[in-house]
Amino acid sequence: DAGVIQSPRHEVTEMGQEVTLRCKPISGHDYLFWYRQTMMRGLELLIYFNNNVPIDDSGMPEDRFSAKMPNASFSTLKIQPSEPRDSAVYFCASRRRESNYGYTFGSGTRLTVV
């Protein structure tokens, strides 16, 4: 089991550019979550999917953020246009419904918008 795989590990982009973060969840996991880590707010949930369907996107900060899960093995988080305040570490996580051990997180994507 390769775990949750995120790419890229680091992304530096200029303000106004489009950024796409990618995630491959663990095979067989029903849920996929996108979190953002900042010093002020810790780990905040942006959106999560159940069986590829978005369930709760109330944490998405604004319309510049969008997420998709076209199939059970792939999800993207897109920011268009990006702004310096979007700089953070973005984590993807997945879990099986029956699990009592919470989520398995990927290693994160560190996004820097200059």
Partner 1 sequence: DQQVKQNSPSLSVQEGRISILNCDYTNSMFDYFLWYKKYPAEGPTFLISISSIKDKNEDGRFTVFLNKSAKHLSLHIVPSQPGDSAVYFCAASANFGNEKLTFGTGTRLTIIP
Cα-Cα-Cα-Cα dihedral sign, residues 10, 15, 20, 25: positive
Least distance (Å) from partner 1 to the CB of residue 16?
28
88-107 binders of partner 1 (CB under 8 A): 91, 93, 97, 99-107
Residue 108: beta bridge partners?
Answer: none
Least distance (Å) from partner 1 to the CB of residue 97?
7
d(Cα 44, Cα 32) in Å, to the nearest integer? 14
Q: Which of 40, 53, 63, 71 binds partner 1 (CB under 8 A)?
A: 40
Residue closer to partner 1, measured from CB, 20 or 107:
107
Instruction: Give the strand pairing for 10-13 and 109-113.
Output: parallel
Contact 95, 4 (CB under 8 A): no
Least distance (Å) from partner 1 to the CB of residue 67?
14
- Pattern 45-84, partner 1, x by CB under 8 A: x--x-------x----------------------------
Contact 6, 21 (CB under 8 A): yes
